[in-house]
Amino acid sequence: MSDLAVAHGASRRFGDLLAVDDVHLRVGAGEVVGLIGANGSGKTTLIRLLLGLLPPTAGQVRLFGEPPSRHTRARLGYVPQSLGLYDDLTVAENLAFSAGAFGVHDTAALQGDLAAVRDVLVHELPLGLRRRVAFAIALGHHPDLLVLDEPTSGVDPLQRARLWETIRASAEDGAGVLVSTHHMSEAEQCDRLLVLANGRVAAEGTMDEVVGGTRAVEVRTGRWEEAFTALDAAGLPVSLVGKALRVPGADREAVGRPLAGAGVDADLGIVPASFEEAFVVLAAGRAA
Amino acid sequence: MSAAAGRWGVDGLGVRYGGRAALDDVTFEVAARSVAAVVGGDGAGKTSLLRALAGTVRPSAGTVRRPDDRRIGYVSAGPGVWADLTVEENLDFAGRAYGLGAGRLRSRTAELLERTGLGEARGRLAGRLSGGMRQKLALAMALLHEPALLILDEPTTGVDPVSRVELWRLVAGAAAGGAAVALATTYLDEAERAATVLVLDQGRALLAGTPDEVLAAVPGRVVEAEARPQGVPAWRRGARWRAWSPDGSPLPGTTEVAMDLEDAVVVAQLAREQRSAA
Amino acid sequence: MWAMAMKELRQMRRDRRTLAMMILLPVLLLVVFGYAASFDVDRVRTVVVGPLAQEVAGGLPDRLQVVETRADLGREGAVEALRDGEAVVAVVTGANGDAAILVDGADLFSARSVVTELRGRPELPAPEILFNPGLDTSTIMVPGLMGVVLVFVGTIATALGVVRERQSGTLEQLAVMPFRPRDVLLGKLLPYLGVAAVDLVVIVAAGMLLFDVPFVGSPLVFALGAVAFLFVTVGAGVLISTVSETQGQAIQLAMMIMLPQILLSGLIFPLQAMAAGVRWIGYLLPLTYFVQVARGVMVKGTPIDALLLPLGMLAVLGLAVLGLSIARFRRDLAPAGRRHRHDEVATVGAGAR
């Protein structure tokens, strides 16, 4: 498996701010890698380093074995969160523009329901179709590396599954895919995850490896409002799930004490933390 | 219509924009002290439902039960904060709009700034806040007057995970305080946290009930495999494929998986597609 | 590079407002400079007063177009006629030789053409120029420019203010808050009206102090005209905001409305010098009437009863534009009719709508 994109000890400094700090990342052909980070984690800056929009202030960035350049850009497909489509052009016109820009003449013809809307103005299309158009265009010049920013946000589960079919299909064809996301529903679709916090890599591996042993305390009680108020007042990161409460990263005693103090009778159980909860614990740990 | 018990919602709601039906015969109930989620993709009708509930669109059919304007808090998908005003000025404007007296406005503002962690940013322009902080500000503005009905349109879309957890905590806090919360989202894992769920697809109800009821209502079983199973509806999930066996019969080369809400919705959507294609 | 050009061309074809600007604007300028841009006034309205009125009227040069002869009026009546805008030239005939030709200096270009004409007629008395004896351009331009400023603040600033709300998505938020649509509208407009008022005072002061522009007439009448004019411009601003999605579109539309007003309202090129086919456009523009009021009151001291037509037109236009814009604005803000005071609201659907 060859590496299509590599960041080796990459750092990027802006004045006093070290936005990206000694990050190692690699994306190989045929795999889908997820890049996760909160705002301010350096995720956006890292992507810009990989795309060649910024040079690193330390370390190396390599695309297809060489430093990013106009030449490597031709083998790259990028779909930003805003999709990068011209709203006042039709689907076909957007495709023509992209083909012209990349100097490609044998673009794959639009398939299926995309073909049906080729003469429709982009701003008249619903979000799901718009995303698929953006993908089709990014894939139009047969890139070896795809960089996708939150590719499935805002669409329903079926459309999400269909979009992932397209992404997986290109990975199976040999492309490498880097997905930048905030969200569990996208993170769980990736082969491997890289979690960034404060510019550094906080965790790496599959979803299970990243969530790892993080646990949460689940509280079941008939008086959930009082339990919530008591735990919230004690400064614990409590959240409501259905009718139960969850406190990630805490132990039974830390949760039991404020409940007892408020006179609330509850059943406490230890459960595996969800992805978001694990992430928050990781990010908090990193900030220290 | 037992509004006295704090049960708001819509019955048989229809909403039309021009010639197009955005919602058709939708029923959705929001009870005090709980969170009711409405789920669906873009164009499913979530925003139309919430707008009808808030009173900013007129229904073409059905009834809407909601409290007086002054007891509703609304966070639009957007969100609705004034970018050229500071955090404090935004809260001030919202407080005055809802008729809060100077004293109460001061104390509520201080309280909410602390709970949302926006205290240090109080003098910053709202346009310069990160997405997560802006959503927290919008939520604070909607909570100033302690509404009986809190309506949130996609409050966590595009928000980083840390802020998302904090927003959920604030929402739960509002429910604990007695509010009825209606929340629209495209994320199924978020919907799973709610007490009741309504799944919309192209303006119609697809599934409804508590998360457990919704799962139980989906017949058959969901299975998983490395390669795409043939002859049954299948979809990608991660590196593998999932498929639905409608009558519950096992499929060769597959293993059963516990169905989650996302599976349930995909199955329901696929089933609907098949029916309309037939 | 070609791909880029192709894309721009396609986008340009679809951007209707920009296209309109690029096509209509040259057409407008052509019309203006072909038919409207002229400083030569061919026919100047004249009244002849005094005992010899009838006889003298026939012998006047062609340029002086006699619209009325009043043997019963004397010099005073003649001055009033000029002040009230009934005519630009008044010929006073006197039995005992106190004949005079009075010219309204506030109608600058008409006055100049009369003066030039009469230079070639030494047998007639030398014209006396009233109200603007020096025939100063600034004296009559400054009042007109006030109108331009009011158009700017009223229309553009207001349009932007409301569109900004729509563009940032906060209009929806406002719709849910317990505001009445008129609260929102008036609350939004008040600061702009205040700024416009301050602007006006500053310009009047500057005009008087720096450019020696007189202020002969009643400030009250002037204020009345200004208020009526503001209603129209602000109403236009709100109307523009209801048909614009972005601030860019709002500005485009506002510019397309402002430019004809500046060129065809008599501010620069006198209305009488325009071909009749174009002049009627001027009579539809609110700025035309404000300029009449401003010049009349400031330079000539015209009383209110002589300004009823322009004030009336401004009031009518104001009501129409403001009424229409409020109706459209309300539609954006309160479609479901939400004003209720009880605890529970049950809205029953209206059936097919």
Distance from CA of C290 to the nearest CA of A (A): 41
Q: Which helix (H) or strand (E) holds B224?
A: strand B221-225
Residue carrying the six token digits 């019963």? C72
Top residue of B165, B197, B201 to mutate, by most chain A CBs within 10 Å, is B165
- Residue C343 pLDDT more than 60? no
d(CA B270, CA C10): 38
What's the pLDDT at A116? 85
CB contact under 8 A, C340 and B69: yes
Question: Which residues, in sequence order, are bridge partners of residue A220?
Answer: A267
Question: Count of CB atoms within 10 A of residue C207's CB?
Answer: 21
What's the pLDDT at B108? 94
pLDDT classification of A108: cutoffs 50, 70, 90? low
Please name the residue of chain A whose CA is at the shortest distance from the CA of residue B164.
A276
- Residue B150 pLDDT more than 90? yes
Distances (CA, A) of C97 to A276, C48, C93, C125: 103, 15, 8, 10
Distances (CA, A) of B244 to B206, B257, B268: 17, 10, 10
Question: In the complex, which subunits touch C with 3 or more CB pairs below 8 angstroms?
Answer: A, B
ipTM for the assembly: 0.83
Q: Which residue has the higher pLDDT, B151 or A44?
A: B151
Letter for the amino acid at A223?
R
Question: In the complex, which subunits touch A with 3 or more CB pairs below 8 angstroms?
Answer: B, C
pLDDT classification of C336: cutoffs 50, 70, 90? low
Q: Which residues of B touch C340 (CB under 8 A)?
A: 68-69
First to last CA, chain B: 39
Q: Are C159 and C318 in contact (CB under 8 A)?
A: no
Write A250-254 long-range contacts (CB < 8 A, 24+).
Answer: A250/A216, A250/A217, A251/A217, A252/A217, A254/A217
Half-sphere exposure of B52 (CA within 13 A, CB side): 34
Nearest to A143 by CA among A63, A51, A73, A75: A75
Out of A156, A188, A283, the one facing B40 most closely (by C-beta) is: A156
- Residue C73 pLDDT more than 80? yes
Please list, residue by residue across C125-160, b when 16 or more beta carbons sit within 10 angstroms of its beta carbon and e when fewer do.
Answer: bebebbbbeebbeebbbbbbbbbbebbebbbbbbbb
Please name the residue of chain B whose CA is at the shortest distance from the CA of residue C330.
B56
Q: Average of pLDDT values for C176-185?
A: 81
Q: What is the mean pLDDT of chain B?
A: 90
CB contact under 8 A, A89 and C6: no
Dihedral, CA of residue A217, residue A218, residue A220 and residue A225, to nearest 10 = 80
Please name the residue of chain B whose CA is at the shortest distance from the CA of residue C187.
B97
Distance from CA of A133 to the nearest CA of C (A): 17
d(CA B167, CA B170): 5
What's the pLDDT at A113? 75
Q: Which residues of C touch A119 (CB under 8 A)?
A: none
pLDDT classification of B41: cutoffs 50, 70, 90? confident
Distances (CA, A) of B207 to A75, A103, B69, B211: 44, 48, 30, 10
Please name the residue of chain A whose CA is at the shortest distance from the CA of residue C12.
A88
pLDDT classification of B38: cutoffs 50, 70, 90? very high
The answer for residues whose C-beta is within 8 angstroms of residue B248's C-beta and 6 or more apart is B219, B220, B221
The answer for residues whose C-beta is within 8 angstroms of residue C62's C-beta and 6 or more apart is none
Percent of chain A, pLDDT > 90?
Answer: 19
Please name the residue of chain C whose CA is at the shortest distance from the CA of residue A98.
C3
pLDDT classification of B104: cutoffs 50, 70, 90? very high
- Residue B81 pLDDT more than 60? yes
> How big is chain A, counted in residues?
288
What's the pLDDT at A53? 86
What's the pLDDT at B200? 93
Q: Average of pLDDT values for B165-182?
A: 92
DSSP letters, B130-182, are: -HHHHHHHHHHHHHTT--SEEEEESTTTT--HHHHHHHHHHHHHHHHTT-EEE
Highest mean pLDDT of the ranges A99-108, B49-58, B154-163, C152-161? B49-58
pLDDT classification of C351: cutoffs 50, 70, 90? very low
Distance from CA of A96 to the nearest CA of B (A): 27
Residue carrying the six token digits 């009526």? C228
Q: Which residue has the higher pLDDT, A223 or B105?
A: B105
Q: Are A281 and A202 in contact (CB under 8 A)?
A: no
- Residue C223 pLDDT more than 80? yes
Question: In the complex, which subunits touch B with 3 or more CB pairs below 8 angstroms?
Answer: A, C
Please name the residue of chain A whose CA is at the shortest distance from the CA of residue C6.
A97
A101 touches chain C (CB under 8 A): yes
CB contact under 8 A, B235 and A155: no
pLDDT classification of C340: cutoffs 50, 70, 90? very low
What's the pLDDT at A288? 42
What's the pLDDT at C193? 84
Q: Average of pLDDT values for B145-162?
A: 90
B interface with C, Cβ–Cβ below 8 Å: 1, 3, 13-14, 16, 51-52, 54-70, 72, 74, 76, 78-83, 94, 97-99
Distance from CA of B154 to the nearest CA of A (A): 9
Q: Which residue has the higher pLDDT, C182 or B216?
A: B216
pLDDT classification of A286: cutoffs 50, 70, 90? low
d(CA C310, CA C295): 12
- Residue C342 pLDDT more than 50? no
C interface with B, Cβ–Cβ below 8 Å: 168-170, 172-173, 175-179, 335-353
What's the pLDDT at C353? 34
- Residue C290 pLDDT more than 90? yes
Write C318-323 long-range contacts (CB < 8 A, 24+).
Answer: C318/C228, C318/C229, C318/C231, C318/C232, C318/C235, C318/C286, C319/C231, C321/C231, C321/C232, C321/C235, C321/C236, C321/C239, C322/C231, C322/C232, C322/C234, C322/C235, C322/C238, C323/C235
Residue carrying the six token digits 């600034």? C138
pLDDT one-digit tens code per residue, B202-223: 999 999 999 999 999 888 889 9
Top residue of C1, C4, C11, C19 to mutate, by most chain A CBs within 10 Å, is C11
CB contact under 8 A, C11 and A88: yes
**Residue A197 phi/psi, 5° resolution?**
-145, 130
Write A86-89 long-range contacts (CB < 8 A, 24+).
Answer: A86/A122, A86/C7, A86/C11, A87/A121, A87/A122, A87/A123, A88/A121, A88/A122, A88/A123, A88/C11, A88/C14, A88/C15, A89/A121, A89/A122, A89/C7, A89/C10, A89/C11, A89/C14
Q: Average of pLDDT values for C272-278?
A: 83
Q: Average of pLDDT values for C315-337?
A: 80
Q: Average of pLDDT values for B68-94?
A: 90
Nearest to B78 by CA among B168, B139, B162: B139
CB contact under 8 A, A86 and C7: yes
Out of C168, C336, C352, the one facing B57 most closely (by C-beta) is: C336
Q: What is the mean pLDDT of chain C?
A: 84
Q: Are C295 and C140 in contact (CB under 8 A)?
A: yes
**Residue C257 phi/psi, 5° resolution?**
-85, -35
Please name the residue of chain A whose CA is at the shortest distance from the CA of residue C1.
A101
pLDDT one-digit tens code per residue, A224-262: 888 999 998 888 888 888 888 999 888 889 999 999 988
pLDDT one-digit tens code per residue, C138-175: 888 888 888 998 888 888 888 888 888 887 778 888 88
Q: Average of pLDDT values for C269-296?
A: 88
The answer for residues whose C-beta is within 8 angstroms of residue C317's C-beta and 6 or more apart is C232, C286, C289
Distance from CA of B69 to the nearest CA of C (A): 6
Distance from CA of A71 to the nearest CA of B (A): 31
Question: Count of CB atoms within 10 A of residue C280's CB?
Answer: 11
pLDDT one-digit tens code per residue, A9-38: 888 888 888 888 899 999 999 999 999 887
Q: Average of pLDDT values for A86-100?
A: 86
A100 touches chain C (CB under 8 A): yes
Reduced to 3 states, what is the DSSP secondary structure of residue A213?
Answer: coil
- Number of Cβ pairs < 8 A linking chain A and chain C: 25
Please name the residue of chain A whose CA is at the shortest distance from the CA of residue C16.
A88
Furthest-apart CA pair in chain C: how many Å?
A: 89
Out of C6, C14, C15, the one facing A97 most closely (by C-beta) is: C6
What's the pLDDT at C187? 84
What's the pLDDT at B91? 95
Reduced to 3 states, what is the DSSP secondary structure of residue A179?
Answer: strand
Backbone conformation region of residue A58, classed left if phi is above 0, alpha if psi is from -120 to 50, else beta: beta
Out of A81-90, A169-178, B61-70, B90-99, pick the least confident.
A81-90
> How big is chain B, counted in residues?
278
d(CA C129, CA C102): 6
Q: Are B163 and B133 in contact (CB under 8 A)?
A: yes
The answer for residues whose C-beta is within 8 angstroms of residue A142's C-beta and 6 or more apart is A104
Distances (CA, A) of C311 to A39, A85, C126, C226: 59, 52, 35, 10
- Residue C26 pLDDT more than 80? yes
- Residue B2 pLDDT more than 50? no
CB contact under 8 A, B61 and C349: yes
B258: tokens are 């516990």
Global pTM reads 0.83
- Residue B155 pLDDT more than 90? yes
d(CA B56, CA A147): 40
pLDDT one-digit tens code per residue, B6-34: 789 999 999 998 888 999 999 999 999 99
pLDDT one-digit tens code per residue, C304-324: 888 999 999 999 998 998 888
Can you give the three-state secondary structure of B238-254, one letter per residue? CCEEEEEECCCCCCCCC
Pairing of strands B61-67, C344-348: antiparallel
Q: Is the peptide bond before A80 cis (omega within 30 degrees of 0)?
A: no
pLDDT classification of B60: cutoffs 50, 70, 90? very high
Dihedral, CA of residue C243, residue C247, residue C253 and residue C257, to nearest 10 = 110
d(CA B119, CA C160): 32
The answer for residues whose C-beta is within 8 angstroms of residue A255's C-beta and 6 or more apart is A217, A219, A231, A236, A247, A268
pLDDT classification of A140: cutoffs 50, 70, 90? confident
What's the pLDDT at B147? 95
Out of B154, B171, B189, the one facing A184 most closely (by C-beta) is: B189
CB contact under 8 A, A99 and C4: no
d(CA B60, CA B23): 9
d(CA A22, CA A210): 19
Q: Which residues of B touch A81 (CB under 8 A)?
A: 158
Question: Which residues, in sequence order, are bridge partners of residue A203?
Answer: A195
d(CA C169, CA C265): 37
What's the pLDDT at C3? 80
Q: Which residue has the higher pLDDT, A209 or A40?
A: A209
CB contact under 8 A, C2 and A86: no
Handedness of CA C315, C320, C321, C327 (dihedral sign): positive
Reduced to 3 states, what is the DSSP secondary structure of residue A161?
Answer: helix
